[in-house]
Amino acid sequence: MSHTPSDAITADSKINRAATSARALAALAGSCFMEERLTYRGHENTLFSHDGIHDSQTHLAAPTYFYQQLKQEIALSNRTGEMFSLIRVIFNRSNNEGESVEAKIGAADILYFSEALKDLTRKQDCVARVGVNECVILVRSSASNVEALLSRLLHSHKLTVENTLQISCATVEFAPGEKALTILNRLDAMSLSTR
């Protein structure tokens, strides 16, 4: 039996929506720590928390779900020959001229960046948050479409959250017979492009 995100909704998650939203808004106002795991996206969106499928702060795919999707995509590609690519996206606070210390990424930066990233990608792309300021996108598409997406990511003003974030990206295409760890190591070794 396969589980979809809608299967992960519990009665408790629906009841706790107001409390969770209040925590998220308080965090955005700076009154609580980011580690409290913000889970607010809006009233029209269903809340997923601790379901193993979504990151509870951003609602992007959780690392465990992403790795499962990657293994399934590798198996599918090995059977059908259809290719896919991974795009690594890292975002950091832009340093203003004269600042010697790197500015820290706040909860609001993470939320706004995640929302913009979801808007720039297709629903069928698996977009996962794998670090505080790092995401990986599994793209089932031709190399030219991946390059177009990469260009959109690097040049989108929306993704930089009004030019307060610097975006860096790298991409690799799956090689037939490759294992998940191998392609992820290749992705990590790729030099990052910035705009």
Per-residue pLDDT tens listing for the chain (195 residues): 444 444 444 444 444 444 444 444 444 444 333 333 334 444 444 434 456 788 888 889 999 999 999 999 999 999 999 999 999 999 998 876 555 456 788 888 899 999 999 999 998 999 999 988 999 999 998 888 899 999 999 888 888 888 889 999 999 999 999 999 999 999 999 999 886
pLDDT at 10: 44
Give the residue from 44, 59, 74 where a domain finishes. 59
> How many angstroms separate the Cα of 12 from the Cα of each of 18, 20, 27?
11, 11, 22
SS3 (DSSP) at 194: strand
- What is the model's pLDDT at position 195? 65
Which is nearest to 125 in space by CA: 104, 148, 96? 148
Q: What is the pLDDT of residue 50?
A: 52
Provide the pairing of β-strand 193-194 with 85-93: unpaired
CA dihedral of 165, 105, 67, 3, whole degrees rounded to 10: -100
What is the token pair recorded at 7? Answer: 């299967």
Please indicate, yes or no, whether residues 176 and 93 belong to a single structural domain of this protein.
Answer: yes
Helix 107-120 and helix 143-155, axial crossing angle in degrees, nearest 10: 140
- Tell me the CATH number at 161: 3.30.70.270
Residue 19's pLDDT is 46
Do 24 and 118 lie in one domain? The reply is no
d(CA 117, CA 5): 19
Residue 114: its pLDDT value, please? 93
Q: How far apart are CA 120 and CA 114, in angstroms?
A: 10
Domains in the chain, number = 2
Q: Are residues 44 and 84 in the same domain?
A: no
Shared domain for 45 and 67, answered yes or no, is no
Asked which of 39, 59, 79 is the last residue of a domain, the reply is 59
Reported pTM: 0.71
Asked whether residue 99 falls in the same domain as residue 28, the answer is no
* Domain match, 111 and 183 both: yes
Assess whether 69 and 28 both reside in one domain: no
User: In sequence order, what are the residues at sequence separation of 6 or more whose Cβ sits closer than 8 angstroms to the Cβ of residue 182?
Assistant: none
My answer on whether 179 and 101 are in the same domain is yes
> Are residues 49 and 68 located together in one domain of the fold?
no
**Parent domain of 14:** 1-59
Q: Are residues 70 and 17 in the same domain?
A: no
Domain final residue, candidates 59, 84, 103 = 59
The verdict on 36 and 128 lying in the same domain is: no
Same domain, 18 and 109: no
* Per-residue pLDDT at 141: 83
